[in-house]
Amino acid sequence: MLGYELAKTIHFISIIGIFISTGYTFASSQDDKSKAKKIADICQPVFGILIFVSAWELVSALNLHQNFPIWGKIKFSLWLLMAILGIVASKKKSSSKFLLGVIFILGCAASVVAVFKPGL
């Protein structure tokens, strides 16, 4: 079991990493064979798993797993939607710029939910 501070640090760094790798993926979407795109395509699922595992550790450390709060459900739903839109954007290159903006807005909304914890 990770400590609270370590899990929080891993969670935060992984969130930054997934947004950077998403940016690289969209920036190099015209060139499917670029090295940056290949690295970003590898990093995205790794950071996604790290986000999920560290979030699970944070929920456990804060003893929220028995009565999962509404803000946690909202945040999880936003991250799930961002992941789905990322997959759609990688398949539909024509709408990738629009979807990148939507993913950014959803990420900002997830941050606001994490900070202000509505319904708590």
**pLDDT for residue 13:** 94
- The phi, psi pair for 92, rounded to 5°, reads -105, 90
Which secondary-structure segment (H or E) carries 57? helix 35-61
Helix (DSSP H) and strand (DSSP E) numbers for the chain: 4, 0
Q: What is the mean pLDDT of the chain?
A: 85
Give the rounded percent of residues in the chain with a pLDDT score beyond 90.
29
User: Lowest mean pLDDT: which of 29-43, 46-60, 67-81?
Assistant: 29-43
Task: Please state the pTM of the whole predicted model.
Answer: 0.80
Residue 19 CA, chain-centre distance (Å), reads: 7
Is there a contact between 78 and 110 (Cβ–Cβ < 8 Å)? yes
3-state secondary structure of 30: coil
Amino acid at 92: K
Top mean-pLDDT range of 39-43, 51-55, 84-88: 51-55
Residue 90 CA, chain-centre distance (Å), reads: 16
For the CA atoms of the chain, what is the radius of gyration? 15
Could you report the per-residue pLDDT of 24-37, keeping only the tens digit for each? 777 776 666 777 77
- Which domain covers residue 37, as residue numbers? 4-116
Compute the average pLDDT of residues 92-98.
Answer: 78
User: Lowest mean pLDDT: which of 55-64, 92-101, 105-114?
Assistant: 92-101
Q: How many domains does the chain fold into? A: 1
Residue 99 has pLDDT above 90, yes or no: no
Tell me which residue of 62, 85, 45 sits closest to 8, measured CA to CA. Answer: 62
Compute the average pLDDT of residues 37-53.
Answer: 86
Is there a contact between 17 and 43 (Cβ–Cβ < 8 Å)? yes
**pLDDT for residue 25:** 75
**Comparing 10 with 23, which gets the higher pLDDT?**
10
Neighbours of 76 (CB within 10 A): 16
